[in-house]
Each structure stands twice: as C-alpha cells, then as structure tokens.
Amino acid sequence: MLIFYEMDLGLNHVVRKFSTPVDNSAHMLVQVPGEPYGPGGILVVSDGFLVYKKVDHDDRECAFPLRHGE
C-alpha cells in the first residue's frame, strides 16, 4: 500500500490523506515536485512499468520500452 500523509501546520500534526494499493514488484518511489514548479505526486517504479499517482487524480501507467529480440 502507498499512503499519502499531509502536514497540517495550523494544528501542527500529520493527517493521513489517502491510501492506494501498488504492484507487488514496486521497488522505488520518486517524488514529483508540487506547485509552482510541477504537478506534484509520486512515481512508483515497478518491474516493467511505472505509475504516476496523485491524490484525487486517475493513475497513469507506462510500460518500459523493450528492444527487439528481448
């Protein structure tokens, strides 16, 4: 499971925002910068593909290209 937390600076505590399942072969997370420089979210790297995940956004999945003959 991938769980998103958010820091509430007004109340000075952490709130669990969102949880979502990930593939069993997932082995790395890459942070995507948030505003004002990017869309925010997480890239989940798995065997053969990666998935972009963000709270309140549909998942986007992309397979890694393979060379001919492999």
Residue 2 counted as domain residue: no
- 67 is in which domain, residue-wise? 23-70
Name the pLDDT band for 70 (thresholds 50, 70, 90): low
Residue 17 counted as domain residue: no
Name the pLDDT band for 13 (thresholds 50, 70, 90): very high
Residue 10 counted as domain residue: no
Using alpha carbons only, what angle is made at residue 48 by residues 42 and 51, rounded to the nearest 5 degrees? 20
What does the alpha-carbon distance between residue 33 and residue 67 come to, in Å, rounded to a whole number? 31
Residue 69 counted as domain residue: yes
Average pLDDT value for residue range 34-60: 91
Q: What would the DSSP string read from start to end of the chain?
A: -EEEEEEETTTTEEEEEEEE---TT--EEEEEP-TTTS--EEEEEETTEEEEE-TTS--EEEEPP--TT-
Residue 54 counted as domain residue: yes
Residue 33 counted as domain residue: yes
Residue 39 counted as domain residue: yes
The confidence score (pLDDT) of residue 32 equals 92
Number of domains composing the chain: 1
pLDDT tens readout for residues 17-31: 889 999 999 999 999
Residue 28 counted as domain residue: yes
